[in-house]
Amino acid sequence: MSDKYWVGFDLGGTKMLATVFDSEFKPCGRERKKTKGHAGSETGVVRISKTIRDALADAEIDVGQVAGIGVGFAGPLDLEKGVLFEAPNLGWTDVPLKDLLENDFACPVVVANDVDAGVFGEYKFGAARGARCAIGIFPGTGIGGGCVYNGTILSGKNRSCMEIGHIEVNPAGPRCGCGQIGCLEAVASRLAVAAAAAQAVYRGQAPALMKIAGSDLSNIRSGALAQAIEEGDSVIETFLRTAARHVGVAIATVVHLLAPDIVVLGGGLVEALPALYVETATAAANERVLPSFVDTFQVKAAELGDDATVTGAAAWANAVVGTA
């Protein structure tokens, strides 16, 4: 076995996932835990370390064999210092995660935005392999975006960027959680689609979804929406296509700015209905770009699923540490 290993870590709102990769980036150990909500950052970091150590134990790898750790985090952070500014779902503020983990594991730690890491994973090993410029758009509870340009994650001086979810796509739309009006996130996130679907159930317009999930938002997941469409709820399909068209409008904006060759769509909605979502978004984007940009880009469904962030975080750590 190789004596050089990389760890990818995905720190989301409700879960932690650590995966150990060998030098060829084949997974050889993993561990998943819940974040346990507002347990405090000190307890949380201990839990992060424990999750990584359990993944190493699963891979039968000694801590001393780890060349680097990459962390993908769903929240604002200082990329250079590796400080998590705020994790509202966890109740954490100003956590120096890079320093804490480097002290614990005695190896380099690289911290990135989770969507950036996911897009880098797709660029290295998934749907965006070989791209010069790859854009990622991931509709979930919100909508995350990322860009890999010439093999590097596109970012500001020390902050992540590509907040595609906050591109205005409907000036007359609803107010977004950020406080602005008509953001992509406000009209095309899974939460926005589920809210519209819940109203349709309440009005008796979605009988299949009523049987599958009822009108409780917490039960209206991507799989339930896909099943309802399969069972004939045309109104739910309309909601999904409308959301995908909004994503297509945002894609057109990004195409004009960066001329990507590949746009990767990920997240539960896309995984549940890849053909419907990709085809609708592609058509909407091509309707709105300049004629010279039509068909210059491919829109693809992500290939790595839940492993995109951990894979990309580990690969990005490898890229950064290798050039340090």
3-state secondary structure of 89: coil
Q: What's the mean pLDDT when you consider all of the chain?
A: 92
Res 324: pLDDT? 52
- Which of 204, 208, 186 minimizes the C-alpha distance to 195? 186
pLDDT-wise least confident of 33-37, 63-67, 229-233, 254-258: 33-37
pLDDT tens-digit series, residues 185-194: 999 999 999 9
255 with 218: CB under 8 angstroms?
Answer: no
Res 32: pLDDT? 93
Other CB atoms within 10 Å distance of the CB of residue 233: 23
Confidence of residue 322 (pLDDT cuts 50, 70, 90): confident
- Average pLDDT (239-268) is 96
Paired strand residues for 16: 11, 33
Confidence of residue 1 (pLDDT cuts 50, 70, 90): very low
Q: What is the dihedral of CA 81, 87, 91, 96, to 10 degrees?
A: -10
Over 50: is that where the pLDDT of 206 sits? yes
CA atoms within 13 A on the CB side of 205: 13
pTM: 0.92
Contacts for 36-44 with beta carbons within 8 Å, 24 or more apart? 37/89, 37/90, 37/91, 38/90, 38/91, 39/90, 40/91, 40/92, 41/90, 41/91, 41/92, 41/93, 41/95, 44/90, 44/92, 44/95
Over 90: is that where the pLDDT of 224 sits? yes
pLDDT tens-digit series, residues 58-112: 999 999 999 999 999 987 889 989 998 876 666 778 889 999 999 999 999 999 9
**Two tokens, residue 131:** 């791209």
Over 90: is that where the pLDDT of 260 sits? yes
Over 60: is that where the pLDDT of 2 sits? no
Res 13: pLDDT? 63
272 with 265: CB under 8 angstroms?
Answer: no
As to burial, measured by CB atoms within 10 angstroms (0-12 exposed, 13-18 middle, 19+ buried), residue 320 is middle
pLDDT-wise least confident of 48-62, 156-170, 227-241, 266-280: 156-170
pLDDT tens-digit series, residues 147-171: 999 999 999 888 889 999 999 999 9
pLDDT tens-digit series, residues 232-248: 999 999 999 999 999 99
Over 70: is that where the pLDDT of 38 sits? no
pLDDT-wise least confident of 47-51, 72-76, 250-254, 269-273: 72-76
- Which of 246, 281, 288 minimizes the C-alpha distance to 263? 281
- Which of 214, 210, 216 minimizes the C-alpha distance to 233? 210
Over 80: is that where the pLDDT of 35 sits? no
Domains of the chain with bracketed CATH:
5-120+307-323 (3.30.420.40), 130-302 (3.30.420.40)
Res 86: pLDDT? 75
